[in-house]
């Protein structure tokens, strides 16, 4: 009887060990990083004037392009917003005028917002008119905007190392420490993704604690951010002319380099339905669409 109990106990221990080993192996079985490439699909003509940002209006299935028209920090009143369809056809070049150097944009309902040097320009999409301009005292160069749900926005100030928050029609400082040239912004439920020109890095900030987590370094003059729709995979641009894929393991891979051609890669938009990455080329005065394809290992 004792011998039977002993062997029963031994069997249970062995099964437990085997189960633990299998679980550990499963935990260590990290999925391999997926590989991607970009191929040009189309490009607009060069009628645009220093396009810095492009955004999709999902409600109207229309694209809007911010043209800063040469001077990124100058209050010259010559900036404007263009209207464009998904194929790259410019529907209305000077759709909304009266801005100076518009860059990043955000949409809340029927309202379009643009970061414009030291103020946020609020525009009515239905009428194509400016509703008002909200000045930010002491702003250096407001750069990007991301919509954050419930009528809120986050706005980066690259020159003053600040991130502002728009809520209830008012703008307040949200983060003023630990930043180094913040530019690109992307809101996600509990965190804010930030690409920095000064730090050359891509990081997240917890919306509750504001704690920072580095995702990738060496992304150059960090500018645009786009989520691919595949968990853990983000596209980040270097304004000077390079596009990176940042992977779930925080490694980064260069997908495209256009520096030598003098073509910038500014504030991007990703059309998931078509797997198209839209890239403003700044001084080249075009928007270029690239197809994002997954590369299969042979």
Tell me, what CATH number does 74's domain have?
2.120.10.30
- HSE on the CB side for 221, CA within 13 Å? 10
What is the tens place of the pLDDT at every residue in 229-240?
A: 999 999 999 999
The answer to whether residue 3 is domain-embedded is no
What CA–CA distance (Å, rounded) separates 227 from 107?
A: 17
Torsion of Cα atoms, 133 then 138 then 140 then 145, to 10°: -50
Nearest to 179 by CA among 148, 147, 144: 144
Strand partners, 166: 153, 171
* Rg, C-alpha atoms of the chain: 23
Strand partners, 279: 288
Provide the residue range defining the domain that includes 224. Answer: 33-295
pLDDT for the residue 22: 43
pLDDT for the residue 5: 41
The answer to whether residue 40 is domain-embedded is yes
The answer to whether residue 6 is domain-embedded is no
The answer to whether residue 11 is domain-embedded is no
The answer to whether residue 123 is domain-embedded is yes
pLDDT for the residue 293: 97
- Stretches where the chain sits below pLDDT 50 are 1-28
What CA–CA distance (Å, rounded) separates 62 from 56?
A: 6
Q: Are 57 and 82 in contact (CB under 8 A)?
A: no
pLDDT for the residue 7: 40
177 contacts: CB under 8 Å, gap ≥ 6: none
The answer to whether residue 9 is domain-embedded is no
Give the ranges where the chain is alpha helix by DSSP (H): 2-28
pLDDT for the residue 31: 83
What is the tens place of the pLDDT at every residue in 130-163?
A: 999 999 999 999 999 999 999 999 999 999 999 9
Number of domains present in the structure of the chain? 1
pLDDT for the residue 29: 56
The answer to whether residue 148 is domain-embedded is yes
Kindly report the backbone phi and psi dihedral angles of residue 32, in degrees, each rounded to the nearest multiple of 5, phi listed first: -65, 150
pLDDT for the residue 207: 98
Backbone torsion region of residue 149, taken as left when φ is above 0, otherwise alpha when ψ lies between -120 and 50, otherwise beta: left
What CA–CA distance (Å, rounded) separates 49 from 215?
A: 33
Q: Are 200 and 217 in contact (CB under 8 A)?
A: yes
pTM here is: 0.89
The answer to whether residue 73 is domain-embedded is yes
């Amino acid at each position: 009887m004792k011998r039977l109990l002993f062997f029963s106990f031994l069997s249970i221990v062995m099964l437990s060990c085997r189960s633990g080993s299998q679980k550990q192996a499963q935990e260590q079985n990290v999925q391999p990083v997926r590989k991607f490439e970009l191929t040009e699909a189309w490009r607009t003509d060069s009628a645009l004037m220093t396009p810095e940002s492009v955004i999709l209006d999902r409600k109207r299935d229309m694209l809007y392009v911010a043209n800063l028209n040469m001077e990124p920090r100058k209050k010259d009143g010559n900036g404007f917003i263009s209207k464009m369809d998904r194929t790259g056809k410019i529907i209305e070049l000077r759709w909304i005028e009266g801005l100076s150097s518009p860059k990043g944009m955000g949409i809340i309902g029927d309202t379009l917002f643009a970061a414009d040097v030291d103020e946020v320009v609020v525009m009515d999409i239905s009428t194509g008119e400016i509703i008002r301009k909200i000045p930010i005292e002491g702003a250096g160069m407001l750069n990007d905007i991301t919509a954050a749900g419930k009528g809120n926005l986050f706005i980066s100030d690259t020159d003053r190392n600040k991130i502002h928050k728009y809520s209830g029609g008012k703008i307040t400082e949200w983060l003023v420490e630990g930043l180094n040239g913040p530019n690109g912004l992307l809101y996600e439920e509990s965190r804010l993704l930030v690409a920095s020109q000064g730090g050359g890095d891509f990081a997240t900030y917890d919306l509750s604690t504001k704690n920072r987590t580095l995702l990738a370094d060496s992304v150059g003059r960090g500018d645009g951010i786009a989520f691919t729709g595949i968990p853990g995979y983000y596209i980040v641009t270097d304004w000077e002319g390079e596009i990176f894929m940042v992977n779930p393991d925080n490694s980064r891979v260069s997908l495209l380099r256009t520096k030598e051609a003098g073509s910038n890669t500014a504030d991007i938009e990703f059309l998931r339905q078509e797997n198209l990455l839209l890239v403003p080329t700044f001084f080249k005065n075009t928007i270029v669409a690239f197809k994002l394809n997954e590369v299969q290992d042979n």
